[in-house]
Every structure is written in C-alpha cells, then in structure tokens.
Structure 1
Amino acid sequence: MKSPRTVAIAGLAAFAMVGALAACSAGGGDDSGKTELRVATFPPGADAAAYDAFAEQEAQFEKANPDIDIIGVEYEWEGPTFAVQLAGGSLPDVFTVPFTDSKTLLENGQLMDVTDEVEELGYADKFNPIILDAVKDGDRIYGFPRQAYAMGLHYNRTLFEQAGLDPDSPPTTWDEIRKAAKTISEKTGKAGFMEMTQNNTGGWQLVAASAARGGSIQEDNGDGTYTSTIANDATKAALEFLHDLRWEDNSLGSNFLLDWGTINQEFAAGNIGMYSSGSDVYTALVRDFSLNPDDYGLTVVPVENGGGTLGGGDIAVVSPTVDDATKAAAVTWIDWFYMQKLLDEDAAVLDAKTLTESGQAIGTPLLPVLDRETYEESLTWIEPYINVPRDQMTPFTDGIWEQTPVGEPKGKTQEIYALLDTVVQAVLTDQNADIDALLEAADVDAQALLDE
C-alpha cells in the first residue's frame, strides 16, 4: 500500500488548472523547444507549504536542466482506475506506484523499461536487492525504488498520558496493546485502537498482523504459481485479537469503514490511541492532516512465533506511452528529484533545506532502499535540518533493525487484499462471526484468483 501525499487559494486554483490542462496533453516538446514533462505532485488536499516546496524544487531543477519544462500534475495512486487513466492519457509522465502493484503492471506491460538508464547512472548495485526485486522482470528494471517502509505502531502520546500510561514505554506485545487500548478507551472515551477495513487496506493490515505472528497468506511455488494459505493460525489469531477488542473490550471505536486516508484523519484529530500503518506515514499526517507533532509516537509492531514486519513502499516509474525524448527527461527528473538526495551529500542538503524552509517533514523513519550504510550516512548529511520528533520515534528506530523484513504477497496482491477486507469487516460487525469459516471461504476464493 502506499503512502499517499501550496500558495494562496488563487495559486492552488491556478496550479490545478495547469495540471488539468497538462493532463490533456500528450507530452513531448512545446513551442520553446523544451521537452515538456508532466510529473506527479501530491494527492488532493495537500497543504500550501507542500506546493511551495515543490515550486522551489521545480525551479532548481529547471535551472540545472533548461531544456526540460516541468509541469506538476495532482496525483494519487488508484489501482482500480489505473488502466483507464493510462488508456485515456491522463496519467503524468512520471508517477509512483506501490510495490504491491508493480508485478501486475509489469505483467500487463504498463511500465517503461529503464534498465539501461539505471545502469548508466551507476547505482544499480547499491539498491537493497529485496526492494529492487519489486521492479524487476528477469534482469530488466522497470522503475526506481524511491521509498520503503516497515509496518509500525503509531500512537497518540497525549492520549497515553491522559489514560495514565507512559508514552515513553509503549506496548511491546499484542497483549499489552490490548490492555493499553482498553485503558485508553475507558479513561478518555476515545478509540484505544482502530483498524483499516476498506479499499484493500483491511486486507493489507490483516496480512501484516498475520506476518507479525509468524503467518503467511500464500506460498510461492517457485514456478510462477501460488498456493493460498490464508486459513492459518496466525491469521486466525489476528482476527481474534480484533474480535476481542471490538466485542469484549469495546476499545475499537465505532467506525468500521476506515481506509488509509480516513484513519489518518481520525488519528491526527486525536480520536485514536493506536493503529498500525507504514512507518513513513508521519509526513502525510503532518502535511495532509494537520497532526500536532507533540501528540505523535511510533514503535515497532510486536512480532512473535518467528514472525517479521511487513514492508512495502513505492517506486518512481515512467509511463510506457512516452516518446524517447520524454523518457530521457523523465529519468533525469527521477534521478534528480528522488534518487540523488539518497546518494549525494550536496543534493541531500539542498533537498532538506528546501523542504525545511516550507515547513515539510525531514527525517521520517524509513527502510533504506539503498544499503544501510548509505542510508545512515545520509542522515548525518541532513542532521541540521531534521525536524521530526525522532526522540518520540526511538522505540521504532532502535527496534526495527532487530526485526526480519517480510515482503508483501506477490500473487494477485490487491485483489486478495480486497477479498480480505470483507473478512475483517465481518469480524468487526458480527459478534458471532465464524472466523474459521470466513478464513476457509477466503482461502477458496483467493485460490480461484491465483489460478486465473
């Protein structure tokens, strides 16, 4: 799943109009002889400061690359409508997609091959090989892994304090999470814990919770086929945990139709004690949902029975419909905008300085898409500009290196996530839901999808 993402109102309207007009064009050159490049910016609702920072970065890039004209296009990944957008020409020339969708897009021929360009840039061998695998088909590379995350437990420090809990000592086991959630609900009247349930996020979180308990929802047969293993003890334990919070403890709130955006909104508003999501979500919480940084805490998701932490992220890709000149411009932009700040000290400092001046988050915990040594060195480059409360994230930044990363399932990922949404919703809306029967039925349905 992704991590989804500005000037006075008049400026916003003008920017949106430019984006809308650009979306109708076919890219390529303009009357000035420059290559016109439409690039993804932010999802609807991003704050003015984010667009301010982007405008400054756009100016910096165009000064260094005067033959390229950058046009920002408002963008949010929507898997179900991607094919329609691609066919209709409304996608930017450069955009991002989640790791979990990249294999399907590759199979459908919907990503541009950039192998030669990545190798020419000279850092193909610096990528974390597990992460690079998300954009490879054989030995060919179809995108630039630009950001990765591990699952984290996000918690509201203020609600912890109001409930008499120590925000510097967050829960370390699922039993402790349950106990803290009940205490928060009883003491504050807020949801102690909340769960995503729709638009594929319920399945995503169920898979993460299963992986943390040592489970896996599918087996890779090594020949391009997969066997569904949804009905396992770890997935059952994850659903029983949610059932008990909902029906025994009454600590799961009252809204059982949440997705990534709406749960972030509820958390930023101070209505949730804890929830699980990608470790990189702090940036969006502040930028898009006006979170008070003093409220925020982050720790690792508990793992048991040999489990690990589900990871993910997104990749910067080039539309397969662009011409050669636009492709070259696209790679130049991706390298400058996404990659060099991970590789080069001057680029990292310039990026951090520009974002800081516009009040954007610097230093949000991530999993390195490059090797750990390069990542940790990059943090030293930008240390003077780090403005996120990393001291409130220490339980995560200290603990994540002790956990085993687990990749998301590769076979029919989003379709199976959608299938599992209904399982999570059933457990949260029906006290007598038969978890075993739900999992067995989901296994059958998932296998049918995998066998298509």
Structure 2
Amino acid sequence: MKSPAKAAIAGFAALAVVGALAGCSADSASSADGRVELRVATFPPGADAAAYEAFESQEAQFEEEHPDIDVIGVEYEWEGPTFAAQLAGGSLPDVFTVPFTDSKTLLENGQLTDVTAEVEELGYTDAFNPIILAEVQDADGNIYGFPRQAYAMGLHYNRALFEAAGLDPDSPPTTWDEVREAAKAISDATGKAGFMEMSTNNTGGWQLTAATVARGGSTQEENGDGTYTSTIANEATKAQLQFLHDLRWEDDSLGDNYLLDWGSINQEFAAGNIGMYSSGSDVYTALVRDFGLSPDDYGLTVLPTENGGGTLGGGDIAVVSPTVDDATKAAAVQWIDWYYMQKLLDEDAAVLDAKTLADSGQAVGTPVLPVLDRETYEQSLTWIAPYVNVPLDQMAPFTEHIFEQTPVGEPKGSTQEIYALLDPLVQAVLTDENADIDALVEQADVDAQAILDQG
C-alpha cells in the first residue's frame, strides 16, 4: 500500500500541477507482489492531513476486500484551462473525476472508457436519476462514467460577518436587492468584501450563467437537432453584470481582489475576508477540509430567483482513463463502485464511510442533490444520521427551500469554452467603471455563436 497521507506530509501541498506524481500507461502496472497498481484521484493540493488519514483508512478497507489491487492516491484538482493538456499528456490517474459539462465532449472525442457492461452488471443503472445519467451517455445510451455527486447553486455566507454588520445570520437575503444591501452593510461595518464573484479559469462564466438562470434567463438554447443558439445578450445576464458593477462602483462592497477562481475565492471566504459568494452547495466539505474554515462561521441559503428563474445544477462523474488495460479497468470499476457508489446504495457501506470520515474529523452530511432517485437518497441520509457533523441548522435556509426551486442543467454546447469567453465580461465590470455592458454581451453573443457553429 502506498498511502497518500505520507506523500502529503512529505510535500504534496507544494505541487501546483494536477497529477504531477503519476502518469497513465497502456501497459498494466503491477506492484512488486504482483497486484494491479491503480492510481486514483484524491484531493486538491493543500488538503489537510486528516483528509488523507481518512483516505488511508478507506484505502486499507478496500484493499482488505480486494487483495489483488494496490491503490495509489494521486493529488488531483480539475481546472478547465489545463485539463485537456493533462489528459492528452497522460498525466492523469487511472480514476479521476470530471464535471458534467466536460463529459459529453470527452466521450464524443473517445477520451472516456465505455463502462456500460460494468454498470449494468453492478445492477443499479435504473437507480440513477435519469436526467443525471444522461450526462454520461452517448446517443446510443452507452455509459461512460459514474455520476457520483451533484449540487445546486447556493449562496454561501459568513455568519460572523453578518453579526458584525448587525444582520441576522438566521435570516439571510432572499432577493438580489437584499444581497446588495447586506453586502454594503458588511463592507461598511467590517471593511471586508460584502460579496465577491469568481472571474477567472472559466469560473466567472460559470457563475454569470448561474445568476442568469436564477434571474430567469439563459445563455444558450438547444435547437433539438444537436445544435445550439447563443442567448447571452439577454436581460438577465445584463442585470447580473449591472448588479456586480453597482456593488463595485456605487457601493464599494466587493473588496479589492477581482481575479478569483474556485480555489482562491474559497480560500478568501474561509479566511473571513468575504461575506457572501455563490457556488455549488457541496463546497462546505472543501472549505473545511482544504481551506480551514471554522464551521461556526458558515451559513448556506438558496440563490435568489426572480422572473421564473431556477437554480443551476451540476456535478461530476468518476471516470476511467481510456489508456488503461483490461485488468486496470476492472480494478478501476471496483474502486469506483466501492469508494463512490456503495455508500449511496448500501446501508453497511454508507455507515462505514460516514464513520470513517467522522472519526477523522471530515465532513459528513454536506447538502447535495441526489444522483440517484430521491427516495434512495433520503434513505441513505437516515443511515448516516448518527455521524452527520456538519452544522445542518446553519444550512437550513438552503435545505428547506432548495426543492422548491426549478433545477436547470448547465449549457451543453461548448460549455467550458463559453464559460472562458464570459470571464472577461465579469472582469470588465469589476475593473472598468465605464464598461459598456450592452456592447460586452452583444459581442460575447457573436463570439459564442461562432464557437457553437464550429461544433
């Protein structure tokens, strides 16, 4: 067994490149004792030692049940601008995760392994939420990955900063106007950023799209024939850009760092420098595990909606590298089933997973959207109830209202490329007081359509 915990202590956190420790090979890799070596994604650089201790325990449990497999943990964090090069260069582990938004492109390009037979043999194809399963299927219904986690967009907020600003952390904002008012109150009272937005590495486009959906608009329409029409130049997108502009230039409530992405905004939030920001509902685990957030400071509510808007959802899938041989593929499927899926389907597996995580101080019970049918999901929550250690009462504004919102999937056409195209729009309104929002969205619409037309 090669534990990632020891590697982490030895200096994993100093690494900046995903998967730099290991490459994939078309030749089967074997341990000195003849076992199949399986390289699996673990955590982003910077995860705390307790996370690796929990993983080490889970690794040992798996290897006890599968003595012919030697699991090797590899640090991993998906980042849009660099992922394609890492995949092409073979620097990813045998098992890794990708967001739903990448899955269609990857499977169409032959860059994911077909696991249809394996999923059917495991017997839970029909248990998946069909909308989510469709994210990993081709036109013929073949399956190229295991949906393992989904989220709805939420508004994350710092309870301590709310209190410092004289706001009630148990009654977070329910409208965009209230978000703006709270952001200004926090900034005026504390000097911190009352609200902040991601703007780099495709995350600005991601969050602008989420806000557009929440405000009743969309950035893209499916034409029903495999083509897409860009709709970026809509009133909801303009309203969100104007919202960000006004917080920055009229209220001065956005702090002074306008080049944040998923990792850096989480770091700033965990450090107590941001009052509110939007992101996936599942981010609490990373905030505590990877960025040192104090659970007492955390609050979560639904993202405000208006004009018939919904909540953007997403998630990721566990996939197998297309370069592995049959023995490694078989080992990979066994790992994915054991590590990701059985805790959602089997009571004993769910309890073992929850207990192992709780014993290592890891988060248990973070709000997610079910990748399986809702009945199965709610049953799994009863299994792990004794081990839930997240502040559920501080997440109640989200969990009590999220199923009242209409779920909306992420745009499917050239998703990451268009997210990248939208990053500069967010950056522009945050750095240029005279940014012409109408002109920005009109040009982005033209540019996005050109990308979509290329297929």
TM-score range relative to shorter protein: over 0.9
Q: CA deviation at 1:252?
A: 1.1
- Tell me which of 394, 397, 419 is aligned to 2:396: 394
Shift of 1:87: 3.5
Pair 234,348 (structure 1): closer, same or farther in 2 beyond 3 Å: same
Offset at residue 73 of structure 1 (A):
1.1
Between the aligned partners of 1:451 and 1:247, the Cα distance in structure 2 is 36
Question: Which deviates further from its counterpart, 151-160 or 77-86?
Answer: 77-86
TM superposition shift of 1:446: 0.3
Distance 1:235 1:285, change over 3 A: same
In the alignment, structure 1 segments of 5+ residues that lack a partner are 1-5
Contact kept? 2:102, 2:415, Cα under 8 Å: yes
Q: Which residue of 1 aligns with 2:163?
A: 161
Q: 8 Å contact 2:156–2:298 — kept in the other structure? A: yes
1:20-419 equivalences under 5 Å are: 22-23=22-23, 26-138=27-139, 139-419=141-421
Coordinate RMSD, CA, aligned? 1.7
2:10 counterpart (5, 12, 16): 12
- CA distance, structure 2, for counterparts of residue 324 and residue 9 of structure 1: 28
Match of 2:446? 444
Residues 430, 413 of structure 1: CA spacing in aligned structure 2 closer, same or farther, 3 A cutoff?
Answer: same
Alignment CA distance shift 1:285-1:57 (3 Å): same
Instruction: Determine if contact 1:40/1:73 at 8 Å carries over to the other structure.
Output: yes
Q: Report Cα offsets for 1:271-297 as digits up to 9, x if no partner.
A: 111000000000000001100100000
User: 1-side partners of 2:245 and 2:298: how far apart?
Assistant: 26
**Secondary structure, aligned partner of 1:446:** helix
Over 3 Å counting, the alpha-carbon distance change for 1:9 and 1:31 in structure 2 is: closer
The CA deviation at 1:35 is 1.4
When residues 208 and 247 of structure 1 are mapped into structure 2, their CA distance, relative to the original with a 3 A threshold, is same
Deviation, structure 1 residue 364: 0.3
Q: Which moved more, 1:24-33 or 1:119-128?
A: 24-33
- Report deviation, 1:21: 5.9
1:27 to 1:41, Cα distance in 2 relative to 1, 3 A: farther
Report the Cα offset of residue 29 of structure 1.
Answer: 2.9
Decide whether the 8 Å contact of 1:28 with 1:325 is kept in 2.
no
Whole-angstrom CA distance in 2 between matches of 1:271 and 1:417: 26
Letter in structure 1 aligned against 2:397: P
Supply the distance in 1 between the matched residues of 2:12 and 2:394 (Cα, whole angstroms): 38
TM superposition shift of 1:336: 0.1
Contact 1:27 1:93 in 2 (8 A): no
Report the Cα distance in structure 2 between the residues aligned to 1:431 and 1:15, rounded to whole angstroms: 38
What one-letter code is carried by the residue in structure 1 that aligns with 2:283?
A: V
Distance in 2 (alpha carbons) for counterparts of 1:77 and 1:14: 16
Query: In 1, distance between residues paired with 2:151 and 2:226?
Result: 26
In structure 2, what residue type is equivalent to 1:65? H
Distance 2:352 2:305 in 1: 38
SS state at 2:429 partner = helix
Cα distance in 2 for partners of 1:209, 1:16 equals: 34
- Tell me the CA shift for residue 33 of structure 1: 2.4
- With structure 2 as the length reference, what TM-score do the two structures score? 0.95
**1:14–1:388 distance in 2 versus 1, CA, 3 Å:** closer
Structure 1 residue 85, shift from structure 2 partner:
2.5
CA contact under 8 A between 2:249 and 2:433: conserved in structure 1?
yes
What CA distance in whole angstroms lies between the structure 1 residues aligned with 2:318 and 2:384? 22
Cα distance in 2 for partners of 1:206, 1:15 equals 31
Unaligned runs of 5+ in 2: none
CA distance in 2, matches of 1:447, 1:10: 44
SS in 1 for 2:120: helix
Structure 1 residues 68 and 194 mapped into 2: Cα distance closer, same or farther (>3 Å)? same
Q: For 2:190 and 2:354, how far apart are their aligned partners in 1?
A: 38
| Whole-angstrom distance in 2 between the partners of 1:160 and 1:216 | 31
Whether the 8 Å contact between 1:16 and 1:73 is mirrored in structure 2 is: no
User: Which amino acid in 2 is paired with 1:410?
Assistant: K
Q: What is the alpha-carbon distance in structure 2 between the residues aligned to residue 448 and residue 14 of structure 1? A: 41
The SS at the match of 1:280 is helix
Report the residue type matching 2:353 in the other structure. Answer: D
Counterpart-to-counterpart distance in 1, 2:324 and 2:184: 54
Letter paired with 2:445 = D
CA contact 2:219–2:411 (8 Å) conserved in 1 = yes
Q: Is the 8 A contact 1:269 1:291 kept in 2?
A: yes
SS at match of 1:426: helix
- Distance in 2 of aligned mates of 1:8 and 1:143: 30
What SS does the corresponding residue of 1:355 show, helix, strand or coil? helix
**8 Å CA contact 2:116, 2:144 repeated in 1:** yes
1:3 — aligned with what? none
CA distance in 2 between counterparts of 1:443 and 1:417 reads: 12
Amino acid at match of 2:366: T
Bigger drift between 338-347 and 71-80 goes to 71-80
Q: Deviations over 1:57-101 (max 9, x none)?
A: 000000001111111111111333334333333211100001111
Work out whether residues 23 and 73 of structure 1, in 8 Å CA contact, stay in contact via their aligned partners in 2.
no
Deviations 1:293-317 (A, max 9, x none): 0000000001111110000010000
Judged with a 3 Å threshold, the aligned counterparts in structure 2 of structure 1 residues 379 and 10 are, in CA distance, closer, same or farther, namely closer
User: Between Structure 1 and Structure 2, how many residues are aligned?
Assistant: 446
Could you tell me the percent identity over the aligned residues? 81
User: Which SS does the other structure have where 1:289 is aligned?
Assistant: coil
Amino acid at match of 1:67: D
